[in-house]
Each structure stands twice: as structure tokens, then as C-alpha cells.
Amino acid sequence: MQMQRFDGYGVLITGAGQGIGAATARRFGEEGARVLVTDLDAGHAEKTAAAIPGALPLVCDARDGAAVEAAVAYAVREFGSLDVVVNNAYSCTPDAARFEDQDDESWNRDLEGSLTSAFRVCRAALPHLEAAGGRGAIVNVGSVNAEVDFGNHAYSAAKAGLASLTRTLAGNAAPRGVRVNVVEPGTIRTGGWAGREDDLAYLAGVYPLGRVGEPEDIAAAIAFLASRDASWITGTTLRVDGGILAVNAPFRGARSDG
């Protein structure tokens, strides 16, 4: 039987219509939370929320400060409290062929979608998380791109900024009884990889644990950091990456073949 660590909790998740966000919404719902499933796409939000008892869908552009304020107010009004926020919304624009051809528009789009959006959500939610009686938690969804070069200049810079924001906000929020942590996923099998099974099969061989991640792997880590099981953890970066940042699997393979 699934643990009920979030009975009575109100949870807001951005970018929750599919992929990691949807899996996270399901995980919180399974553990007793009321979940506000926010997404840019109304259909995705509604589909995800419909499968989770007590969940509500809401169209919200996390890049829009007014929309974020309205979403937080809606969650508090409908659930009676806001105890957990998960910042999962992001933007990732393909790099230009040459760095000097990267334009301001794509750079700003990724920073807005992956970093500034999280800042806006945290800013709106923090007073309510403080009022949650020690249950308040923010979990940001970062990326291994924040740590080493996997491409995508703007996205990677934004995720590195998100890791830094996590640490500075953790220090600010700790005296207010709110914990702030970040999960950094590696390659996750989401809809963005549809039709690219050969690429995923190749990448599975690069990861030390022999597979790419599933959305549920990240959802489990997020739920842990949001729960009382992690009550003495704040300002930390939890890498959920199949070991790719710790072990150079291709290099080790080359050595063993030599």
C-alpha cells in the first residue's frame, strides 16, 4: 500500500500536464495530497488531473507574474493551504550552429521559462508555505546540464541559475520553516523523445546503471524531498542521473576493452 505522507497537503506543480510533472502529480495524489496541475496546455492539464482523485487543472503560464499569483491564490482557496510547490516548467531551445549566432530571443526565452518562472512561483508561494506549520517545501526540477556540458547554452545556464537560487532561497526560507531543494535529472523517457527509440537505446549504454530514467524515478525523488522524511534537508542538490555525473561509462568501457 502506498504511504500517505501528504494527507491534507495542498500541492502546486508547474508544467504538470505530461512527463515528469504529470508523474509527480500522480505520486503526490497517490500519497494523499490535493494537487493543482498547472500547465500551458489546457488539454494536458485536464487529462492529468482527471486521473488523480481530488486534483484540479489550471492553465498557467509560469512566465506571467499575474498568472502565477492567481494560481497560488486559487490553490490556497481550493485546498485551504499551500504546503508544497514543485517548479517543473521549463524552456529548452536548440542551440544555433555557432555560439555567436545565438539570438537574444531564444536566450531570454529559456531563462524566462526555466529560471525566472521558478523565481516568480517561489515569490508568490513563500508566504503561504511559511504558514504551513513546518510542512512548507519547494522542490525545483533542475538538470544535469547545470553541472557539465550536454549542450543547450541558455537552458544549461538557466538550470545552473536555478541550482544557485535553490541554495540562496534555502538560506532565506529556513528561519521561516520552509525547505528548498533541487532535483537534477539525467535523460528521462518523456514525450519529447517520441520516435527516437534508437537514440534512447544508445544513451542507455552511456549511463552506468544501464538505462535512461523514467518520469517516476524523478517523481519519487521529488516526493521524498517534499516529505517529512527529508525534514533536515534543505539547500541540497539531489542528482537523479543513473550515475552519469559520477562515472565516465564510455571511458571505463574503452579501458576494459583495451
Amino acid at 179: R
| Ramachandran area for residue 240 (φ above 0: left; ψ -120 to 50: alpha; else beta) | beta
The more confident residue out of 69 and 258 is 69
pLDDT tops 60 at residue 258: no
Grade residue 79 by pLDDT with cuts at 50, 70 and 90: very high
CB atoms near residue 120 (< 10 Å):
22
What average pLDDT does the structure give for the chain?
Answer: 95
**Euclidean distance between CA atoms 236 and 22, whole angstroms:** 23
pTM for the whole structure: 0.95
Q: Catalytic one among 9, 90, 155, 207?
A: 155
Q: Catalytic one among 74, 159, 202, 207?
A: 159
159 noted as active-site residue: yes
pLDDT tops 90 at residue 194: no
User: In the chain, which ranges are continuous DSSP H helix?
Assistant: 19-30, 42-50, 65-79, 104-111, 117-130, 153-173, 197-206, 215-226, 249-257
Superfamily of domain 10-194+214-243: NAD(P)-binding Rossmann-like Domain (3.40.50.720)
**Euclidean distance between CA atoms 20 and 222, whole angstroms:** 10
- Locate 232 and state its grid cell: 533536515
Paired sense of beta strands 56-59 and 34-39, if any? parallel
Q: Tell me: the pLDDT tens digits for 51-74? A: 999 999 999 999 999 999 999 999
Taking CA atoms, 71 is separated from 15, 56, 85, 125, in Å, by: 13, 11, 11, 10
| pLDDT given for residue 249 in this prediction | 74
pLDDT tops 70 at residue 255: no
Sorted by where each begins, the domain ranges of the chain are 10-194+214-243
Q: Tell me: the pLDDT tens digits for 205-245? A: 999 999 999 999 999 999 999 999 999 999 999 999 999 99
- Location of C-alpha cell 527529508: 230
Q: What is the DSSP string of 40-77?
A: S-HHHHHHHHHTSTT-EEEE--TT-HHHHHHHHHHHHH
**Euclidean distance between CA atoms 236 and 181, whole angstroms:** 5
Indicate the SS3 state at residue 235.
coil
pLDDT tops 70 at residue 127: yes
| pLDDT given for residue 1 in this prediction | 52
The more confident residue out of 102 and 253 is 102
The sign one gets for the Cα dihedral 115, 173, 87, 243 is: positive
| pLDDT given for residue 141 in this prediction | 98
Q: Average pLDDT of 43-56?
A: 98
Q: Average pLDDT of 171-182?
A: 98
Q: Average pLDDT of 165-181?
A: 98
**Euclidean distance between CA atoms 77 and 196, whole angstroms:** 42
Residues in the chain: 258
